């Protein structure tokens, strides 16, 4: 099953419909009905399926179908073909997070023949990697009275540890606009790249302040908020003073923290320190920062229904916290008891030669088979 899922190139920029068509047909062959919740373009969709009785109080196995790009990465093997080496399976999505989906699908025959007291639902989403976009259209389906699950288990790579909290994510686009001029008369222009560099330097300083004041006792790794400037673009030619410079940046912090505080500080610095200097050269200069995505943090509820169930199935009494974001925060914000628990290590995700240990898949098999036993008469 993992071979089949990885073979579909579901990079976020591409459609996931061929993968969902395969899953839908597979489920139908086992007597399981599914439905697609599409985006506005019709090129992407979430998949929703239910196994067992039509009644509330079941458990959702949730995961995203999209993967990050392989462009520019040096892979030793074909990223869209699973290769086994020394107890590990290599391929894009093996860790994040097609192994969890593969386990759930491989167990469909066992799910379908079990005498389930409450249903098991599949919630497979699109575009998680670009801001948890798709699942927002699917969540209302879970809030319906005849569904209303008791627990949602999101199969992000947690090394099969039960995660009850993760950081929030806010992403931004900042565009600095100056004035073009010939490079030999640079005093006649306003260099957008140089002023963007001042803003980026502010973010770098803020990131260092967070690091210096980290508190290991809070349980996150790293134990402080983080800032990343991930993309930058500006200028048209070496001999032209650049008119515009745009950079994308993100801020990750604890779910209970004020995630807007950094933006307020950043905009105040831009308004009080950088923009006056730019406008002294050209009054029309501007700095515009636009929020692009917001992923709420997963607030810690270690004794929730989902946490109690997942820790029993994982034979663990120690909940964990992680620094990456996920769809779990959106489920929790919708009032649904939610945890993360899935095979693989986040350290292996998003990198060349992504892989998952076979032992992790075996642990996930035990977990999901335990779930069936727990929910069966």
- What is the reported pLDDT for 358? 98
Residue 156 clears pLDDT 90, i.e. is over it: yes
- What is the reported pLDDT for 359? 98
CATH number for 77 = 3.40.630.10
Catalytic residues: 66, 128
Structure token digits, residue 206: 């803020």
Residue 84 clears pLDDT 90, i.e. is over it: yes
Same domain, 23 and 142: yes
Using only the alpha carbons of the chain, give its radius of gyration: 23
Three-class DSSP category at 124 = strand
Provide mean pLDDT across the span 239-250: 98
Same domain, 239 and 349: no
CA distance 109 to 106: 7
Number of domains in the chain: 2
Instruction: Provide φ and ψ at 70, rounded to 5°.
Output: -105, 0
Provide mean pLDDT across the span 224-252: 97
Same domain, 286 and 303: no
Provide mean pLDDT across the span 39-54: 97
Which pTM does this prediction carry? 0.91
Residue at which a domain ends, from 244, 261, 295 = 295
Instruction: Provide φ and ψ at 345, rounded to 5°.
Output: -115, 130
Whole-angstrom distance between the N-terminal and C-terminal Cα of the chain? 28
Provide mean pLDDT across the span 233-262: 96
The percent of residues in the chain predicted with pLDDT above 90, rounded, is: 98
Maximum Cα–Cα distance across the chain: 81
Same domain, 40 and 186: no
CA distance 57 to 54: 10
Same domain, 146 and 218: no
Same domain, 136 and 19: yes
Provide mean pLDDT across the span 352-375: 98
Residue 139 clears pLDDT 80, i.e. is over it: yes
Structure token digits, residue 196: 């963007």
Residue 108 clears pLDDT 90, i.e. is over it: yes
For 185, residues 6+ apart whose C-beta sits below 8 A from its C-beta are none
Residue 377 clears pLDDT 80, i.e. is over it: no
Average pLDDT of the chain is: 96
Domain holding 218, by residue range, is 168-295
DSSP structural state of residue 98: I
Same domain, 46 and 120: yes
Provide mean pLDDT across the span 102-116: 97
Residue 238 clears pLDDT 90, i.e. is over it: yes
- What is the reported pLDDT for 145? 85
Provide mean pLDDT across the span 223-229: 97
Same domain, 354 and 301: yes
For 276, residues 6+ apart whose C-beta sits below 8 A from its C-beta are none
- What is the reported pLDDT for 370? 98
**Residue burial 317-348, b: 16+ Cβ < 10 Å; e: rest:** eebbbbbbbbbbbbbbeeebbbbbbbbbbbeb
Same domain, 9 and 145: yes
Residue 220 clears pLDDT 80, i.e. is over it: yes
CATH number for 199 = 3.30.70.360
Cis status of the peptide bond prior to 97, with omega within 30 of 0 = yes
Same domain, 158 and 182: no
How many of the other CB atoms lie within 10 Å of CB of 124? 26
Going by their DSSP bridges, the two strands 151-154 and 338-340 should be labelled as parallel
Residue at which a domain ends, from 271, 295, 319 = 295
> CB of 323 within 8 A of CB of 252?
yes
Provide mean pLDDT across the span 6-31: 98
In DSSP notation, 188-218 reads GSB-HHHHHHHHHHHHHHHHHHHHHT--GGG
> CB of 236 within 8 A of CB of 214?
no
Strand (E) or helix (H) holding 364: helix 358-375
């Amino acid at each position: 099953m993992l071979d089949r899922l990885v073979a579909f190139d579901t990079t976020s920029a591409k459609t996931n419909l061929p993968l969902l068509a395969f899953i839908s047909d597979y489920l139908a062959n086992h007597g399981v009905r599914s439905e697609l919740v599409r985006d506005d373009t019709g090129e992407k969709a979430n998949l929703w399926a239910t196994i067992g009785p039509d009644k509330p109080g079941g458990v959702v196995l949730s995961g995203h179908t999209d993967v990050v790009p392989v462009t520019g990465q040096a892979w030793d093997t074909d990223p869209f073909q699973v290769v086994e080496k020394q107890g590990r399976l290599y391929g894009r999505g093996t860790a994040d997070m097609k192994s969890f989906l593969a386990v759930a699908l491989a167990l469909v025959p066992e799910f379908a023949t079990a005498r389930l007291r409450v249903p098991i639902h599949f919630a497979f989403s699109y575009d998680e990697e670009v801001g948890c976009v798709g699942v927002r259209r699917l969540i209302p389906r879970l809030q319906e009275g005849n569904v209303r699950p008791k627990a949602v288990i999101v199969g992000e790579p947690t090394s099969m540890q039960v995660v009850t909290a993760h950081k929030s994510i806010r992403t931004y686009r900042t565009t600095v606009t100056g004035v073009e001029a010939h490079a030999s008369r640079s005093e006649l222009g306003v260099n957008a790249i140089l002023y963007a560099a001042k803003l980026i330097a502010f973010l770098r300083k803020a990131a260092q302040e967070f690091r210096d004041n980290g508190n290991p006792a809070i349980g996150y790794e790293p134990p402080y908020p983080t800032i990343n400037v991930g993309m930058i673009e500006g200028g048209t030619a070496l001999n032209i003073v650049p008119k515009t410079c745009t950079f994308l940046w993100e801020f990750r912090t604890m779910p209970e923290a004020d995630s807007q505080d950094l933006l307020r500080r950043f905009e105040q610095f831009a308004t009080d320190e950088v923009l006056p200097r730019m406008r002294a050269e050209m009054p029309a200069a501007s700095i515009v920062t636009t929020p692009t995505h917001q992923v709420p943090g997963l607030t810690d509820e270690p004794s929730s229904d989902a946490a109690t169930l997942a820790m029993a199935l994982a034979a663990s009494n120690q909940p964990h916290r992680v620094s990456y974001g996920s769809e779990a925060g959106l489920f929790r914000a919708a009032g649904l008891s939610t945890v993360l628990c899935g095979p693989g290590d986040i350290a292996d995700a998003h990198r060349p030669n992504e892989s998952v240990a076979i032992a992790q898949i075996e642990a996930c098999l035990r977990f999901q088979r335990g779930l069936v036993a727990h929910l069966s008469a």
